[in-house]
Structure 1
């Protein structure tokens, strides 16, 4: 477990299933305004448990790093390195509505960047974000990610197809 002031970043575990289900259920409407909806089955004890098993299986293969973000013990977000392959990976994060605007997404992204470089030896990170998600675009730009491409009608958010931007960051000793 790593601390960033009052935040902790920890690897997802099977023991987190109850907290994770409560978090994801409470934040579902908020998340679905900005990112693709999860399947309905995810929002069940079995669905979350299956999700955790899948994430930890990928983690054991060094293809994913699924982290939980807690503030003073309360689950407030998730941050993931996923699709880890050779020297690159994708980043993703989701932060509770009540925790937005506090720099937590930026701190989570910087944590992922440090882990990507230090633990996995990665050189490039990619993020895909809706063109309508200004807050995530701002976080990515602040963390030295550059917009590289646009993906027309790439994602379905709030029952409509949206264009997405591909952001990329070349990791170096200063990130």
Structure 2
């Protein structure tokens, strides 16, 4: 139904971060379907409805409504114009937010998650004026843990059996970062 895409990225140059728009629905749906099996190995599965044109449109409307309220920043990560991932600030309040990102399988291990996290940190501090970011990561996701630790996030909590992935309950680690000490705004 949707074509498979070759999203191999040789290096993290030519990256662009952009706010999700309704016009992204078809391309984002194709991306999510192509990467579904990869994502569902690491994070909770989305409902079947998400993987339909209507479900994707609803998802985008919900994300943009939260963005209009200042509670979410839903971004797409593109390499040479092609979606290779997503990066979000969500649950934004007066001082803090949660951070999350997901990358295409072929885009992993090339510094893109690090660039996405740095982009989110700068946006959180310089645009939203936030002081603290939090991230929740599976105990098995060593790559994301390294990305967070490299950005000076520290472990603040451990959540046993927090997430349901495939048929297994996974523990997660909660990381936090104080932005005032790490991000300078222009």
TM (norm. structure 2) is 0.90
Q: Which residue of 2 aligns with 1:106?
A: 114
Match of residue 79, structure 2, among 71, 75, 90: 71
Aligned CA RMSD, in angstroms, stands at: 1.0
Q: Deviations over 1:109-138 (max 9, x none)?
A: 000000000000000000000001111111
Q: C-alpha displacement at 1:172, in angstroms?
A: 2.0
Q: Which residue of 2 aligns with 1:166?
A: 174
1:151 and 1:141 map into 2 onto residues whose CA distance is 18
What residue ranges of structure 1 are gaps of 5+ in the alignment? none
Moved over 6 A (4+): none
2:182 and 2:175 map into 1 onto residues whose CA distance is 18
Structure with greater strand percent: 1
Provide the secondary structure at the position in 1 that maps to 2:75.
Answer: strand
Q: Which residue of 2 aligns with 1:118?
A: 126
1:133 and 1:169 map into 2 onto residues whose CA distance is 18
Question: How do 1:7-26 residues align onto structure 2 when only pairs under 5 Å count?
Answer: 7-26=15-34
Q: Which residue of 2 aligns with 1:85?
A: 93
**1:128 aligns to 2:127 (yes or no):** no
Q: C-alpha displacement at 1:173, in angstroms?
A: 5.3
2:14 and 2:145 map into 1 onto residues whose CA distance is 25
**1:157 aligns to 2:165 (yes or no):** yes
What residue ranges of structure 2 are gaps of 5+ in the alignment? 1-11
Q: Which residue of 1 aligns with 2:6?
A: none
Q: Which residue of 1 aligns with 2:4?
A: none
1:105 and 1:135 map into 2 onto residues whose CA distance is 9
TM (norm. structure 1) is 0.96
Provide the secondary structure at the position in 2 that maps to 1:85.
Answer: coil
